[in-house]
Structure 1
Amino acid sequence: MISPLKVIYARKTELIPLTAYIDWMREKKLAVGPAVRMLVTTRVSQLNGCAFCHDLNLARAVQEQIGYARFLGLDRWPESEAFNERERAALALADEVTRNHDLSESTFELCRQHFSDEEVVELIWLVAVENYFNMQARSLRIGSDGLFRRTAEAHGP
């Protein structure tokens, strides 16, 4: 059983449907593709120092076979050649909104070059949702469950 189930949802079961709905929206109802979604949420959890969420996001990247090696270099995304221009725009948005709780005009325009207006809204929503989960896990001292390591071992290189 993953730690948030033991720490949060065992104590406040009414939050389970909300979390399940957010996860369903994230996975099934967004136009932004899975690789960009996972890069954004992983970067946000990394910026927030949320060990559980970062671990979970890396495990999801392995499960979805989205080239998780790139995810390990997210802290160097601006200078890394592992990311295309669309991904860089999404990561710039993730960094700015997480750090500043706002988006500069230049980053907004950069995103509009690579994403539809609907997708820009989705990216900002993804950042907000990941910040929501990170805030809970960090504040309640929920650490890594070792999901990435176990998933990587199960799926191989």
Structure 2
Amino acid sequence: MAAERQGVSRRLMELVNVRASQLNGCARCLDEHIPRALEAGETIQRIGVLPAWRETRLFDEVERAALEITESVTQDSGHLADDDRRRLREVLGDERFSLVAWIAITINSYNRVSILSGHQPRHRD
């Protein structure tokens, strides 16, 4: 996968997808991305505390940076103070910073289309 070659694991990508979908309230996307996150090695515990990620030590520096970018894209239209942007780029590097931002932008677009379209979670046995 191209993202993995740039240092963004499938697990991190799905963590971004789940967090943005939580913030946007997209049930269909959560139904899709939580199982994918689990398949990629994410844990139920970390998904459960994801809304309070800032309050726990379960997420490493790279994950925390990615989650901060995700929340900025989702809640603040991507606005970051210069100091914050510099700090996040130092943690992630320029390429990974840009890739995480694009992942967050993409899932936000999917969330909005899915919500507007009234997509529902799939029924499972």
Q: TM-score range by the shorter chain?
A: 0.7 to 0.9
> 1:111: Cα distance to partner?
1.4
Instruction: Give the one of 100, 111, 117 matched to 1:123.
Output: 100
Q: Is the 8 A contact 1:42 1:58 kept in 2?
A: yes
Residues 43-84 of structure 1: per-residue CA shift (max 9 Å, x gap): 001110000111211010122232242112111011112111
> 1:116: Cα distance to partner?
1.6
In structure 2, the gaps of 5 or more residues are: none
Between 1:101-110 and 1:72-81, the stretch displaced more is 101-110
SS of residue paired to 2:42:
coil
Greater C-alpha Rg? 1
Instruction: Give the one of 57, 70, 74 matched to 2:50.
Output: 74
Q: Which residue of 1 aligns with 2:115?
A: 138
Distance 1:34 1:107, change over 3 A: farther
> 1:146: Cα distance to partner?
5.1
Q: Which runs of 4+ in 1 moved over 4 A?
A: none
Between 1:111-120 and 1:99-108, the stretch displaced more is 99-108
RMSD across aligned C-alpha pairs, in angstroms? 1.6
TM-score using structure 1 length: 0.71
In structure 1, the gaps of 5 or more residues are: 1-27, 151-157
Instruction: Give the one of 62, 74, 87 matched to 1:110.
Output: 87
Residue identity matched to 1:117: D
Give runs of aligned pairs for residues 1-150 of structure 1, distance below 5 A. 28-30=1-3, 31=6, 32-104=8-80, 105-145=82-122
Count of equivalent residues: 121
Residues 7-39 of structure 1: per-residue CA shift (max 9 Å, x gap): xxxxxxxxxxxxxxxxxxxxx211212222111
Q: Is the 8 A contact 1:44 1:130 kept in 2?
A: yes
Find the aligned partners of 1:107 and 1:146 in 2 and give their Cα distance. 41
